[in-house]
Amino acid sequence: MKAIKGSAGTVISFTNVRLKPSKASSALSDTDKQLQLFAQAALPPYVVKESGEFDRLEDAAAFKVAYLRFFKQVLPAMYEVPQLRQLLEQVTSEDFLTAAVGGEWNQNVGFWVDATLDMGETYSSEYEGSVPLLPGRTIKMQSKFRVIKEVPCTRTGQARKCVELEMRTTPDQADMAAAIDSFSRQFALPSPGKGEVMESIDVEENIRLVTETDGLIPHQITTYKRVVASIRSGDERKSMSEVQESSVSYTYRSNAP
């Protein structure tokens, strides 16, 4: 990640992003290598305000052109599928990207700026976020979090006072139902007398954050997100799921405050 401070805010962009392959780099196919590059292309740069809040995407139109061009180059056959083309238009729209990127930034960073947190108290917030199994849709998300305990930590060789926070996020049920209905109508698979219909989606997202109490400087963020969808085709039902896990640790140079 690269952050460049300017008069209108700080521009955050991503470079050298790579997927973590399950096999050695020398064994990757050309498609695997292209998809690694695609992972980098799929992260738009954005601007955050001096206050720490998300402001806007940086040249969303240029990002969309580059994204679609790269997708067509890497997966030309898929690019010609009408339904997929429509989906790509949705997930690269400025409204969707702004909601998805801005929601994630404000959840992980913006909300915590200048916050005062008391041990054992439960806090809540709302933001617009995305669900992996509903690409192109944004949904109102509701988060509840609390300070669990104090934990020892160090930064630049000095002992600091840190706390561990736990956050649980769930979607607004009315928003989720509307998004499922819209998605099912658009992408139902045609067949004689019946089609596949997505009936429900369960989302579980948990975040654990270790941060300094003075200035809320993060030391570690661990995220677990599980999405399970129930799909009906005629009288048959099946489920599909997606799990995302990540852990980020922060180190600071000795000249950091």
Q: Where do the structural domains in the chain lie, given as residue ranges? A: 1-114, 115-257
Q: Please give the residue that has the higher pLDDT: either 221 or 50.
A: 221
Residue 69 clears pLDDT 70, i.e. is over it: yes
CA distance 67 to 45: 13
pLDDT for 226: 87
Output the pLDDT for position 160: 92
Q: What is the pTM of this model?
A: 0.58
Across 76-105, average pLDDT: 80
Higher pLDDT, 241 or 2: 241
- pLDDT the model gives residue 192: 41
Assign 105 a pLDDT band (cuts: 50, 70, 90). confident
Residue 212 pLDDT > 80, yes or no? yes
Which is more confidently placed, 149 or 34? 149
The yes-or-no verdict on residue 256 having pLDDT over 60 is no
pLDDT of residue 133: 64
- The two three-digit tokens of residue 241, written as one number: 């799921």
Q: Rounded distance, CA 32 to CA 226, Å?
A: 25
Mean pLDDT score of the chain: 77
Q: Mean pLDDT, to the nearest integer, of 252-256?
A: 67
Model pLDDT for residues 147-197, shown as the tens digit of each residue:
889 999 999 889 999 999 898 888 888 888 888 887 777 665 444 445 667
The percentage of residues in the chain with a pLDDT greater than 70, rounded to a whole number, is 76
The Cα–Cα gap between 84 and 66 comes to 17
Write 143-147 long-range contacts (CB < 8 A, 24+).
Answer: 143/107, 143/167, 143/168, 143/169, 144/168, 144/169, 145/207, 146/120, 146/121, 146/122, 147/117, 147/118, 147/119, 147/120, 147/121
The pLDDT, as a whole number, for residue 31 is: 58
Instruction: Provide the pLDDT for residue 191.
Output: 44
Question: For residues 182 and 188, is the Cβ–Cβ distance under 8 A?
Answer: no
**190 backbone dihedrals φ, ψ, rounded to 5°:** -70, 140
pLDDT digits (tens, 9 = 90+) for 78-87: 778 887 777 7
